[in-house]
Chain A
Amino acid sequence: MDMNEILEIIEQDPKIDPAEIARLTGYPETEVRSRIKELEDSGIIRKYKAVIDWDKVGEEYLYAIIELKISLGDRSGYDVIARRIANFTEVRSVRLISGDHDLSLTVRGHSMKDVAFFVAEKIATLDQVQSTVTHFVLKTYKEDGVTLFEKDKSKRLAITP
Protein backbone atom coordinates (compact mmCIF):
# COMPACT_ATOMS: atom_id res chain seq x y z
CA MET A 1 0.00 0.00 0.00
CA ASP A 2 1.35 3.42 -1.00
CA MET A 3 1.22 5.58 2.13
CA ASN A 4 2.02 8.76 0.19
CA GLU A 5 -0.99 8.19 -2.03
CA ILE A 6 -3.30 8.09 0.99
CA LEU A 7 -1.64 11.16 2.50
CA GLU A 8 -1.97 13.08 -0.75
CA ILE A 9 -5.70 12.34 -0.92
CA ILE A 10 -6.24 13.37 2.71
CA GLU A 11 -4.19 16.52 2.26
CA GLN A 12 -6.45 17.50 -0.63
CA ASP A 13 -9.65 16.59 1.20
CA PRO A 14 -9.40 16.03 4.96
CA LYS A 15 -13.15 15.30 5.13
CA ILE A 16 -12.90 12.29 2.86
CA ASP A 17 -14.29 9.00 4.14
CA PRO A 18 -11.96 5.95 4.29
CA ALA A 19 -14.48 4.04 2.15
CA GLU A 20 -14.05 6.69 -0.51
CA ILE A 21 -10.25 6.45 -0.29
CA ALA A 22 -10.61 2.70 -0.79
CA ARG A 23 -12.60 3.31 -3.99
CA LEU A 24 -10.10 5.84 -5.28
CA THR A 25 -7.06 3.69 -4.64
CA GLY A 26 -8.42 0.19 -5.05
CA TYR A 27 -7.14 -0.83 -1.57
CA PRO A 28 -9.43 -2.73 0.85
CA GLU A 29 -11.36 -0.38 3.14
CA THR A 30 -10.30 -2.12 6.36
CA GLU A 31 -6.63 -1.70 5.39
CA VAL A 32 -7.17 1.97 4.59
CA ARG A 33 -8.79 2.53 8.00
CA SER A 34 -6.00 0.83 9.90
CA ARG A 35 -3.33 2.64 7.89
CA ILE A 36 -4.95 6.03 8.63
CA LYS A 37 -5.04 5.14 12.32
CA GLU A 38 -1.31 4.34 12.19
CA LEU A 39 -0.60 7.63 10.44
CA GLU A 40 -2.54 9.51 13.11
CA ASP A 41 -0.95 7.62 16.00
CA SER A 42 2.57 8.15 14.70
CA GLY A 43 2.03 11.90 14.33
CA ILE A 44 2.49 11.91 10.57
CA ILE A 45 -1.06 13.22 10.30
CA ARG A 46 -0.95 16.07 12.80
CA LYS A 47 -4.41 17.52 12.41
CA TYR A 48 -7.32 17.77 9.97
CA LYS A 49 -7.65 21.42 9.09
CA ALA A 50 -9.87 23.73 7.03
CA VAL A 51 -8.62 26.79 5.15
CA ILE A 52 -11.17 29.55 5.87
CA ASP A 53 -11.44 32.82 3.98
CA TRP A 54 -12.19 34.92 7.07
CA ASP A 55 -12.41 38.09 4.98
CA LYS A 56 -15.45 36.60 3.29
CA VAL A 57 -17.04 35.79 6.63
CA GLY A 58 -16.57 39.42 7.64
CA GLU A 59 -14.60 38.43 10.72
CA GLU A 60 -12.20 41.21 11.72
CA TYR A 61 -9.02 39.18 12.02
CA LEU A 62 -5.76 40.91 11.51
CA TYR A 63 -2.60 39.00 10.69
CA ALA A 64 0.98 40.18 11.01
CA ILE A 65 4.31 38.66 10.13
CA ILE A 66 6.88 39.36 12.85
CA GLU A 67 10.57 38.91 12.21
CA LEU A 68 12.80 38.48 15.23
CA LYS A 69 16.52 38.74 15.83
CA ILE A 70 17.55 36.34 18.55
CA SER A 71 20.61 36.31 20.75
CA LEU A 72 21.25 32.82 21.95
CA GLY A 73 22.10 32.24 25.60
CA ASP A 74 24.85 29.91 26.80
CA ARG A 75 22.60 26.92 27.23
CA SER A 76 19.63 27.64 25.01
CA GLY A 77 19.33 27.23 21.23
CA TYR A 78 16.65 28.38 18.78
CA ASP A 79 14.44 25.42 19.66
CA VAL A 80 14.02 26.60 23.24
CA ILE A 81 12.92 30.14 22.40
CA ALA A 82 10.79 28.90 19.46
CA ARG A 83 8.98 26.45 21.69
CA ARG A 84 8.31 29.19 24.22
CA ILE A 85 6.90 31.56 21.61
CA ALA A 86 4.83 28.81 19.97
CA ASN A 87 2.84 28.39 23.18
CA PHE A 88 1.05 31.73 22.76
CA THR A 89 -2.37 31.18 21.16
CA GLU A 90 -1.97 34.43 19.20
CA VAL A 91 0.99 32.89 17.37
CA ARG A 92 -0.16 30.90 14.33
CA SER A 93 3.24 29.84 12.99
CA VAL A 94 6.87 29.93 14.06
CA ARG A 95 9.69 29.36 11.60
CA LEU A 96 13.48 29.49 11.79
CA ILE A 97 14.63 31.41 8.74
CA SER A 98 17.86 32.43 7.03
CA GLY A 99 18.79 36.02 6.22
CA ASP A 100 18.70 39.16 8.30
CA HIS A 101 16.43 37.65 10.94
CA ASP A 102 16.28 34.38 12.80
CA LEU A 103 12.64 33.64 13.52
CA SER A 104 9.52 34.50 11.57
CA LEU A 105 6.14 34.42 13.32
CA THR A 106 2.62 34.79 12.03
CA VAL A 107 0.43 36.40 14.65
CA ARG A 108 -3.34 36.82 14.63
CA GLY A 109 -5.34 39.43 16.55
CA HIS A 110 -8.56 41.36 16.22
CA SER A 111 -7.00 44.75 15.62
CA MET A 112 -3.71 46.47 14.90
CA LYS A 113 -3.62 47.52 18.53
CA ASP A 114 -4.14 43.93 19.66
CA VAL A 115 -1.21 42.67 17.64
CA ALA A 116 1.05 45.62 18.46
CA PHE A 117 0.48 45.21 22.21
CA PHE A 118 1.01 41.46 22.01
CA VAL A 119 4.34 41.88 20.24
CA ALA A 120 5.48 44.70 22.51
CA GLU A 121 4.47 43.03 25.76
CA LYS A 122 4.92 39.31 25.16
CA ILE A 123 7.53 38.89 22.44
CA ALA A 124 9.83 41.91 22.53
CA THR A 125 10.25 41.53 26.27
CA LEU A 126 11.75 38.05 26.05
CA ASP A 127 15.43 38.11 27.05
CA GLN A 128 16.68 36.44 23.87
CA VAL A 129 14.78 38.77 21.52
CA GLN A 130 17.09 41.52 20.31
CA SER A 131 14.75 43.28 17.90
CA THR A 132 11.44 42.86 16.11
CA VAL A 133 10.07 43.97 12.73
CA THR A 134 6.31 43.84 12.25
CA HIS A 135 4.60 43.56 8.84
CA PHE A 136 0.82 43.80 8.91
CA VAL A 137 -0.97 41.62 6.37
CA LEU A 138 -3.25 43.73 4.20
CA LYS A 139 -4.78 40.95 2.11
CA THR A 140 -4.28 37.20 1.74
CA TYR A 141 -4.35 35.77 -1.76
CA LYS A 142 -3.17 32.24 -1.03
CA GLU A 143 -3.16 30.28 2.22
CA ASP A 144 -1.70 26.82 2.83
CA GLY A 145 -1.55 26.14 -0.89
CA VAL A 146 -5.15 27.22 -1.44
CA THR A 147 -5.83 30.31 -3.57
CA LEU A 148 -8.58 32.53 -2.18
CA PHE A 149 -9.69 33.93 -5.53
CA GLU A 150 -13.14 33.23 -6.92
CA LYS A 151 -13.14 30.05 -8.99
CA ASP A 152 -13.24 30.44 -12.76
CA LYS A 153 -16.05 28.66 -14.56
CA SER A 154 -15.01 25.82 -16.85
CA LYS A 155 -14.43 27.06 -20.36
CA ARG A 156 -14.46 23.60 -21.96
CA LEU A 157 -16.96 22.73 -24.66
CA ALA A 158 -19.60 20.24 -23.48
CA ILE A 159 -18.63 17.58 -26.03
CA THR A 160 -15.28 17.27 -27.78
CA PRO A 161 -13.52 14.59 -29.85
Chain B
Amino acid sequence: MNQTRKFVSDRVRVVPPSGIRKFFDMVIGMDDVISLGVGEPDFVTPWHIREACIYSLEKGFTSYTSNAGLLELREAVSNSFQRDYGVNYDPVDQILVTTGVSEAADLALRAVVNPGDEVIVHEPSYVSYKPCIVFSGGNPVTVSTTRENEFRLTGAQLEDAITPKTKAIILSYPNNPTGAVMGRKDFEEVADVAVEHDLLVISDEVYDKLTYNGKHTCFSSLNGMDERTILLNGLSKSHAMTGLRIGYAMGPPDIIKAMLLIHQYTMLCAPITSQIGAIEALNKGDSEMQAMVREYNRRRKLFVTGLNELGLDCFEPRGAFYAFPSVQSTGMTSSQFAEELLNQQKVAVVPGDVFGESGAGFLRCSYASGLDELKTALERIETFLG
Protein backbone atom coordinates (compact mmCIF):
# COMPACT_ATOMS: atom_id res chain seq x y z
CA MET B 1 0.00 0.00 0.00
CA ASN B 2 2.72 2.44 1.05
CA GLN B 3 4.50 1.75 -2.22
CA THR B 4 1.59 3.03 -4.27
CA ARG B 5 0.73 6.00 -2.06
CA LYS B 6 3.69 7.89 -3.52
CA PHE B 7 1.83 8.04 -6.83
CA VAL B 8 -1.05 10.02 -5.32
CA SER B 9 -0.69 13.70 -6.13
CA ASP B 10 0.29 16.17 -3.43
CA ARG B 11 -2.82 18.16 -4.23
CA VAL B 12 -5.04 15.24 -3.23
CA ARG B 13 -2.86 13.95 -0.43
CA VAL B 14 -3.21 17.14 1.60
CA VAL B 15 -6.99 16.92 1.71
CA PRO B 16 -8.30 14.95 4.71
CA PRO B 17 -11.36 12.70 4.35
CA SER B 18 -14.68 14.25 5.33
CA GLY B 19 -15.30 14.22 9.09
CA ILE B 20 -18.73 12.89 8.32
CA ARG B 21 -17.14 9.62 7.21
CA LYS B 22 -16.10 8.74 10.77
CA PHE B 23 -19.69 8.93 11.99
CA PHE B 24 -20.93 7.03 9.01
CA ASP B 25 -18.57 4.19 9.92
CA MET B 26 -19.75 4.25 13.54
CA VAL B 27 -23.42 4.12 12.61
CA ILE B 28 -23.06 1.29 10.09
CA GLY B 29 -23.92 -1.96 11.78
CA MET B 30 -25.88 -0.41 14.66
CA ASP B 31 -29.56 -1.31 14.91
CA ASP B 32 -32.47 0.93 15.90
CA VAL B 33 -30.54 4.14 15.20
CA ILE B 34 -32.52 7.30 14.60
CA SER B 35 -30.45 9.25 12.16
CA LEU B 36 -30.57 13.02 12.16
CA GLY B 37 -27.37 12.95 10.16
CA VAL B 38 -28.98 12.74 6.77
CA GLY B 39 -28.49 15.63 4.35
CA GLU B 40 -31.26 14.67 2.00
CA PRO B 41 -35.05 14.68 1.95
CA ASP B 42 -36.84 11.69 3.48
CA PHE B 43 -39.48 11.97 0.78
CA VAL B 44 -39.22 9.81 -2.29
CA THR B 45 -39.17 11.72 -5.59
CA PRO B 46 -42.82 12.58 -6.40
CA TRP B 47 -44.45 9.88 -8.46
CA HIS B 48 -45.15 11.94 -11.57
CA ILE B 49 -41.42 12.70 -11.86
CA ARG B 50 -40.47 9.04 -11.42
CA GLU B 51 -43.16 8.16 -13.94
CA ALA B 52 -41.65 10.59 -16.47
CA CYS B 53 -38.28 8.84 -16.00
CA ILE B 54 -39.82 5.39 -16.43
CA TYR B 55 -41.74 6.49 -19.49
CA SER B 56 -38.62 7.96 -21.07
CA LEU B 57 -36.87 4.61 -20.66
CA GLU B 58 -39.82 2.79 -22.18
CA LYS B 59 -39.62 5.14 -25.15
CA GLY B 60 -35.93 4.34 -25.56
CA PHE B 61 -34.39 7.61 -24.41
CA THR B 62 -31.05 6.16 -23.36
CA SER B 63 -28.60 8.20 -25.41
CA TYR B 64 -26.17 11.01 -24.68
CA THR B 65 -27.58 14.51 -24.68
CA SER B 66 -25.93 17.74 -25.69
CA ASN B 67 -23.01 18.46 -23.35
CA ALA B 68 -24.84 21.45 -21.91
CA GLY B 69 -27.95 19.34 -21.25
CA LEU B 70 -31.26 19.00 -23.06
CA LEU B 71 -32.31 22.39 -24.41
CA GLU B 72 -35.84 21.77 -23.11
CA LEU B 73 -34.44 21.39 -19.59
CA ARG B 74 -32.34 24.53 -19.88
CA GLU B 75 -35.41 26.38 -21.07
CA ALA B 76 -37.40 25.07 -18.12
CA VAL B 77 -34.63 26.24 -15.76
CA SER B 78 -34.53 29.64 -17.44
CA ASN B 79 -38.31 30.03 -17.22
CA SER B 80 -38.38 29.07 -13.55
CA PHE B 81 -35.77 31.73 -12.65
CA GLN B 82 -37.54 34.36 -14.71
CA ARG B 83 -40.80 33.48 -12.94
CA ASP B 84 -39.42 33.15 -9.39
CA TYR B 85 -36.75 35.86 -9.25
CA GLY B 86 -37.10 37.97 -12.39
CA VAL B 87 -33.59 37.07 -13.56
CA ASN B 88 -32.88 36.23 -17.18
CA TYR B 89 -30.49 33.52 -18.30
CA ASP B 90 -30.27 32.56 -21.96
CA PRO B 91 -30.81 28.79 -22.14
CA VAL B 92 -28.47 28.58 -25.14
CA ASP B 93 -25.24 29.90 -23.66
CA GLN B 94 -25.81 30.81 -20.01
CA ILE B 95 -27.01 27.52 -18.50
CA LEU B 96 -25.11 24.27 -18.05
CA VAL B 97 -26.78 21.12 -16.71
CA THR B 98 -24.48 19.15 -14.43
CA THR B 99 -24.44 15.90 -12.49
CA GLY B 100 -25.61 17.39 -9.22
CA VAL B 101 -24.67 20.77 -7.76
CA SER B 102 -21.43 19.24 -6.47
CA GLU B 103 -20.16 18.88 -10.01
CA ALA B 104 -21.31 22.41 -10.82
CA ALA B 105 -19.29 23.77 -7.87
CA ASP B 106 -16.23 21.81 -8.93
CA LEU B 107 -16.53 23.02 -12.53
CA ALA B 108 -17.00 26.62 -11.44
CA LEU B 109 -13.82 26.52 -9.39
CA ARG B 110 -11.76 24.73 -12.00
CA ALA B 111 -12.96 27.14 -14.67
CA VAL B 112 -11.87 30.29 -12.83
CA VAL B 113 -9.10 29.48 -10.34
CA ASN B 114 -5.44 29.85 -11.26
CA PRO B 115 -2.71 28.29 -9.11
CA GLY B 116 -2.27 30.35 -5.96
CA ASP B 117 -5.58 32.20 -6.25
CA GLU B 118 -7.47 32.60 -3.01
CA VAL B 119 -11.13 31.75 -2.70
CA ILE B 120 -13.05 32.88 0.36
CA VAL B 121 -15.41 30.42 2.03
CA HIS B 122 -17.63 31.25 4.98
CA GLU B 123 -17.89 28.59 7.64
CA PRO B 124 -19.63 26.54 8.88
CA SER B 125 -20.47 25.39 5.39
CA TYR B 126 -20.84 22.36 3.15
CA VAL B 127 -17.84 20.03 3.37
CA SER B 128 -16.91 19.99 -0.34
CA TYR B 129 -16.03 23.60 -1.01
CA LYS B 130 -12.57 23.74 0.52
CA PRO B 131 -11.35 20.44 -0.96
CA CYS B 132 -12.64 21.48 -4.39
CA ILE B 133 -10.74 24.78 -4.12
CA VAL B 134 -7.58 22.80 -3.33
CA PHE B 135 -8.22 20.37 -6.21
CA SER B 136 -8.51 23.36 -8.54
CA GLY B 137 -5.08 24.62 -7.42
CA GLY B 138 -6.39 27.49 -5.31
CA ASN B 139 -6.10 28.29 -1.64
CA PRO B 140 -9.20 28.40 0.54
CA VAL B 141 -9.49 31.32 2.94
CA THR B 142 -11.96 30.80 5.74
CA VAL B 143 -14.25 33.40 7.26
CA SER B 144 -15.95 32.26 10.44
CA THR B 145 -19.57 33.22 10.92
CA THR B 146 -21.06 33.29 14.40
CA ARG B 147 -24.14 32.24 16.33
CA GLU B 148 -24.52 35.86 17.52
CA ASN B 149 -25.00 36.98 13.93
CA GLU B 150 -27.09 33.92 13.09
CA PHE B 151 -24.27 32.55 10.92
CA ARG B 152 -24.62 35.26 8.27
CA LEU B 153 -21.60 36.62 6.44
CA THR B 154 -21.07 40.37 6.82
CA GLY B 155 -19.46 42.71 4.34
CA ALA B 156 -16.89 43.74 6.96
CA GLN B 157 -15.84 40.13 7.59
CA LEU B 158 -15.48 39.61 3.90
CA GLU B 159 -13.48 42.79 3.45
CA ASP B 160 -11.02 41.69 6.17
CA ALA B 161 -10.33 38.40 4.38
CA ILE B 162 -9.54 39.93 1.00
CA THR B 163 -5.93 40.03 -0.23
CA PRO B 164 -4.50 40.86 -3.66
CA LYS B 165 -4.74 37.14 -4.44
CA THR B 166 -8.47 36.87 -3.78
CA LYS B 167 -10.34 35.73 -6.87
CA ALA B 168 -13.74 34.64 -5.69
CA ILE B 169 -16.16 34.08 -2.81
CA ILE B 170 -18.34 31.04 -2.30
CA LEU B 171 -21.71 31.93 -0.82
CA SER B 172 -24.05 29.23 0.40
CA TYR B 173 -27.43 30.40 1.70
CA PRO B 174 -29.79 28.94 2.84
CA ASN B 175 -26.92 27.24 4.56
CA ASN B 176 -25.95 23.65 5.19
CA PRO B 177 -25.31 22.96 8.11
CA THR B 178 -26.73 25.92 10.04
CA GLY B 179 -30.05 26.61 8.29
CA ALA B 180 -29.08 30.30 8.22
CA VAL B 181 -30.39 32.55 5.46
CA MET B 182 -29.18 35.89 4.12
CA GLY B 183 -31.76 38.52 3.20
CA ARG B 184 -31.51 41.08 0.44
CA LYS B 185 -29.71 43.64 2.64
CA ASP B 186 -27.18 41.04 3.80
CA PHE B 187 -26.51 40.05 0.20
CA GLU B 188 -26.17 43.69 -0.86
CA GLU B 189 -23.33 44.15 1.65
CA VAL B 190 -21.50 41.24 0.07
CA ALA B 191 -22.27 42.50 -3.42
CA ASP B 192 -20.79 45.93 -2.62
CA VAL B 193 -17.55 44.35 -1.46
CA ALA B 194 -17.46 42.07 -4.51
CA VAL B 195 -17.79 45.07 -6.84
CA GLU B 196 -15.26 47.14 -4.95
CA HIS B 197 -12.63 44.40 -5.15
CA ASP B 198 -13.70 43.03 -8.54
CA LEU B 199 -14.44 39.55 -7.21
CA LEU B 200 -16.44 36.69 -8.65
CA VAL B 201 -19.23 35.24 -6.50
CA ILE B 202 -20.10 31.56 -6.69
CA SER B 203 -23.53 31.35 -5.06
CA ASP B 204 -24.78 27.88 -4.21
CA GLU B 205 -28.52 28.26 -3.71
CA VAL B 206 -29.58 24.62 -3.83
CA TYR B 207 -31.79 25.13 -0.75
CA ASP B 208 -33.53 28.25 -2.15
CA LYS B 209 -36.96 26.66 -2.25
CA LEU B 210 -36.63 25.51 1.36
CA THR B 211 -36.96 28.98 2.83
CA TYR B 212 -39.39 29.65 5.67
CA ASN B 213 -40.70 32.99 6.97
CA GLY B 214 -40.16 34.96 3.80
CA LYS B 215 -38.92 34.59 0.26
CA HIS B 216 -35.39 33.72 -0.78
CA THR B 217 -33.33 36.44 -2.48
CA CYS B 218 -31.49 35.22 -5.54
CA PHE B 219 -27.98 36.70 -5.39
CA SER B 220 -27.77 37.39 -9.11
CA SER B 221 -31.02 39.36 -8.96
CA LEU B 222 -29.09 42.16 -7.21
CA ASN B 223 -28.18 45.07 -9.39
CA GLY B 224 -25.16 44.29 -11.56
CA MET B 225 -24.43 40.96 -9.91
CA ASP B 226 -25.37 38.82 -12.90
CA GLU B 227 -22.07 39.88 -14.49
CA ARG B 228 -19.96 38.50 -11.65
CA THR B 229 -22.04 35.62 -10.30
CA ILE B 230 -22.04 31.93 -11.04
CA LEU B 231 -25.38 30.74 -9.71
CA LEU B 232 -25.55 27.08 -8.71
CA ASN B 233 -28.75 25.22 -8.11
CA GLY B 234 -30.40 21.86 -8.66
CA LEU B 235 -33.36 19.66 -7.95
CA SER B 236 -31.97 17.34 -5.26
CA LYS B 237 -33.39 19.14 -2.26
CA SER B 238 -36.41 20.97 -3.67
CA HIS B 239 -37.90 17.95 -5.44
CA ALA B 240 -36.37 15.12 -3.39
CA MET B 241 -34.21 14.01 -6.31
CA THR B 242 -30.78 13.53 -4.68
CA GLY B 243 -30.04 10.22 -6.40
CA LEU B 244 -31.03 11.53 -9.82
CA ARG B 245 -28.11 13.95 -9.68
CA ILE B 246 -29.35 16.98 -11.57
CA GLY B 247 -27.77 20.34 -10.88
CA TYR B 248 -27.09 23.35 -13.05
CA ALA B 249 -24.89 26.41 -13.25
CA MET B 250 -25.89 29.78 -14.67
CA GLY B 251 -23.72 32.77 -15.37
CA PRO B 252 -21.95 34.96 -17.92
CA PRO B 253 -21.50 33.13 -21.28
CA ASP B 254 -17.68 33.17 -21.12
CA ILE B 255 -17.61 31.43 -17.77
CA ILE B 256 -20.33 28.91 -18.66
CA LYS B 257 -18.40 28.16 -21.86
CA ALA B 258 -15.25 27.48 -19.80
CA MET B 259 -17.19 25.21 -17.43
CA LEU B 260 -18.75 23.41 -20.38
CA LEU B 261 -15.29 22.72 -21.76
CA ILE B 262 -14.25 20.84 -18.61
CA HIS B 263 -17.64 19.14 -18.34
CA GLN B 264 -17.52 17.85 -21.93
CA TYR B 265 -14.11 16.25 -21.38
CA THR B 266 -14.99 14.71 -18.03
CA MET B 267 -18.66 14.07 -17.28
CA LEU B 268 -19.74 14.60 -20.89
CA CYS B 269 -23.38 15.08 -19.96
CA ALA B 270 -25.83 14.43 -17.13
CA PRO B 271 -27.89 11.22 -17.44
CA ILE B 272 -30.75 11.66 -19.90
CA THR B 273 -33.29 9.83 -17.70
CA SER B 274 -32.68 12.26 -14.87
CA GLN B 275 -32.80 15.24 -17.21
CA ILE B 276 -36.23 14.18 -18.44
CA GLY B 277 -37.38 13.77 -14.82
CA ALA B 278 -36.03 17.26 -14.10
CA ILE B 279 -38.07 18.79 -16.94
CA GLU B 280 -41.20 17.24 -15.43
CA ALA B 281 -40.23 18.51 -11.96
CA LEU B 282 -39.65 22.08 -13.11
CA ASN B 283 -42.74 22.28 -15.29
CA LYS B 284 -45.24 20.41 -13.14
CA GLY B 285 -43.74 19.77 -9.73
CA ASP B 286 -44.64 22.92 -7.80
CA SER B 287 -47.55 21.60 -5.75
CA GLU B 288 -45.65 18.53 -4.52
CA MET B 289 -42.66 20.70 -3.72
CA GLN B 290 -44.77 23.14 -1.74
CA ALA B 291 -46.39 20.28 0.20
CA MET B 292 -42.92 19.01 1.16
CA VAL B 293 -41.83 22.51 2.22
CA ARG B 294 -44.93 22.87 4.43
CA GLU B 295 -44.11 19.56 6.06
CA TYR B 296 -40.46 20.56 6.68
CA ASN B 297 -41.69 23.79 8.19
CA ARG B 298 -43.86 21.95 10.73
CA ARG B 299 -41.03 19.64 11.65
CA ARG B 300 -38.71 22.64 11.99
CA LYS B 301 -41.00 24.34 14.48
CA LEU B 302 -41.52 21.19 16.52
CA PHE B 303 -37.88 20.19 16.54
CA VAL B 304 -36.28 23.56 17.21
CA THR B 305 -38.76 24.28 20.03
CA GLY B 306 -38.00 20.83 21.45
CA LEU B 307 -34.24 21.41 21.40
CA ASN B 308 -34.56 24.76 23.15
CA GLU B 309 -36.85 23.22 25.79
CA LEU B 310 -34.12 20.66 26.47
CA GLY B 311 -31.66 23.49 27.09
CA LEU B 312 -29.76 23.07 23.81
CA ASP B 313 -29.70 26.66 22.59
CA CYS B 314 -30.77 26.76 18.95
CA PHE B 315 -31.36 29.92 16.92
CA GLU B 316 -34.26 29.83 14.49
CA PRO B 317 -33.04 28.30 11.23
CA ARG B 318 -34.98 29.90 8.39
CA GLY B 319 -33.87 27.71 5.52
CA ALA B 320 -32.75 24.22 4.42
CA PHE B 321 -33.70 21.38 6.80
CA TYR B 322 -31.10 21.58 9.53
CA ALA B 323 -31.15 22.73 13.13
CA PHE B 324 -27.78 23.77 14.55
CA PRO B 325 -28.04 23.66 18.36
CA SER B 326 -25.20 24.51 20.70
CA VAL B 327 -24.01 21.89 23.18
CA GLN B 328 -21.72 24.29 25.03
CA SER B 329 -24.01 24.27 28.09
CA THR B 330 -23.28 20.55 28.56
CA GLY B 331 -19.52 21.07 28.83
CA MET B 332 -18.96 18.51 26.08
CA THR B 333 -17.36 19.09 22.71
CA SER B 334 -19.45 18.47 19.59
CA SER B 335 -17.70 15.17 18.93
CA GLN B 336 -17.97 13.97 22.54
CA PHE B 337 -21.67 14.79 22.58
CA ALA B 338 -22.33 13.15 19.21
CA GLU B 339 -20.36 10.00 20.03
CA GLU B 340 -21.92 9.56 23.48
CA LEU B 341 -25.41 10.28 22.18
CA LEU B 342 -24.95 7.66 19.49
CA ASN B 343 -23.53 5.05 21.87
CA GLN B 344 -25.98 5.64 24.71
CA GLN B 345 -29.20 6.55 22.94
CA LYS B 346 -28.65 5.57 19.31
CA VAL B 347 -29.35 8.98 17.89
CA ALA B 348 -26.97 9.97 15.10
CA VAL B 349 -26.13 13.64 14.65
CA VAL B 350 -23.12 15.29 13.00
CA PRO B 351 -20.63 17.32 15.06
CA GLY B 352 -20.63 20.95 13.92
CA ASP B 353 -16.85 21.21 13.64
CA VAL B 354 -16.95 18.82 10.68
CA PHE B 355 -18.20 21.87 8.76
CA GLY B 356 -15.36 24.12 9.91
CA GLU B 357 -13.85 25.28 13.18
CA SER B 358 -16.57 27.84 13.78
CA GLY B 359 -19.02 24.94 14.02
CA ALA B 360 -17.25 23.67 17.17
CA GLY B 361 -19.68 23.40 20.05
CA PHE B 362 -22.65 22.82 17.76
CA LEU B 363 -24.42 19.85 16.19
CA ARG B 364 -26.02 19.50 12.80
CA CYS B 365 -29.39 17.83 13.19
CA SER B 366 -31.40 17.20 10.05
CA TYR B 367 -35.15 17.40 10.52
CA ALA B 368 -35.77 15.70 7.17
CA SER B 369 -37.22 12.76 9.08
CA GLY B 370 -40.75 11.77 10.01
CA LEU B 371 -42.46 13.53 12.93
CA ASP B 372 -42.55 10.34 15.02
CA GLU B 373 -38.82 9.85 14.54
CA LEU B 374 -38.13 13.46 15.51
CA LYS B 375 -40.24 13.13 18.66
CA THR B 376 -38.48 9.91 19.63
CA ALA B 377 -35.12 11.55 18.95
CA LEU B 378 -36.06 14.44 21.28
CA GLU B 379 -37.10 11.96 23.99
CA ARG B 380 -33.82 10.10 23.65
CA ILE B 381 -31.81 13.32 23.78
CA GLU B 382 -33.73 14.26 26.94
CA THR B 383 -32.85 10.92 28.51
CA PHE B 384 -29.23 11.42 27.44
CA LEU B 385 -29.08 14.84 29.07
CA GLY B 386 -30.56 13.33 32.25
The distance from the CB of B348 to the nearest CB of chain A, in whole angstroms, is 6
CA distance A95 to B306 in the complex (A): 45
B340 adjacent to chain A (CB < 8 Å) = no
Interface string of A40-63 (1 = CB under 8 A from B): 000000000000000000000000
The distance from the CB of A154 to the nearest CB of chain B, in whole angstroms, is 7
Is the CB–CB distance between A158 and B128 below 8 Å? no
Q: Is the interface of B mostly helix, strand, loop or mixed?
A: mixed
Q: Which residues of B contact A9 (CB under 8 A)?
A: 298
Q: Which residues of A contact B37 (CB under 8 A)?
A: 158-160
CA distance A146 to B127 in the complex (A): 39
Residue ID in chain B nearest A24 by CB atoms: B298
CA distance A5 to B350 in the complex (A): 31
Q: What's the tally of chain A residues with a CB closer than 8 Å to chain B?
A: 15
CA distance A160 to B23 in the complex (A): 10
The 8 Å CB contact of A156, one of B23, B40, B176, is B40
Binds A, one of B27-35, B60-68, B255-263, B264-272: B27-35
B146 adjacent to chain A (CB < 8 Å) = no
Residue ID in chain A nearest B370 by CB atoms: A154
The distance from the CB of A147 to the nearest CB of chain B, in whole angstroms, is 10
The 8 Å CB contact of A159, one of B176, B294, B301, B350, is B350
Q: Which residues of A contact B27 (CB under 8 A)?
A: 158-159
Most-contacted residue by chain B among A5, A9, A25, A154 (CB, 10 A): A154
Q: Which residues of A contact B350 (CB under 8 A)?
A: 159
CA distance A5 to B176 in the complex (A): 27
B24 adjacent to chain A (CB < 8 Å) = yes
CA distance A154 to B299 in the complex (A): 18
Is the CB–CB distance between B42 and A23 below 8 Å? no
Given known contacts A23-B302, A24-B302, is B38 in contact with A160 (CB within 8 Å)? yes
CA distance A157 to B24 in the complex (A): 8
Q: Which residues of B contact A158 (CB under 8 A)?
A: 24, 27-28, 33, 35, 37-38, 348
The distance from the CB of B291 to the nearest CB of chain A, in whole angstroms, is 9
The distance from the CB of B125 to the nearest CB of chain A, in whole angstroms, is 11
Q: Which residues of A contact B88 (CB under 8 A)?
A: none
Is the CB–CB distance between B126 and A161 below 8 Å? yes
B39 adjacent to chain A (CB < 8 Å) = yes
Residue ID in chain A nearest B126 by CB atoms: A161
CA distance A5 to B297 in the complex (A): 11
Interface string of B34-56 (1 = CB under 8 A from A): 01011110100000000000000
12 contacts between A and B (CB under 8 A): A23-B302, A24-B301, A24-B371, A156-B42, A158-B27, A158-B28, A158-B35, A158-B37, A159-B35, A160-B37, A161-B20, A161-B176
**A binding-site residues for B, Cβ under 8 Å:** 5, 8-9, 20, 23-26, 154, 156-161
Known contacts A154-B42, A159-B38, A160-B37; can you find 5 more A-B pairs with CB under 8 A?
Answer: A24-B302, A158-B27, A158-B35, A159-B20, A159-B24
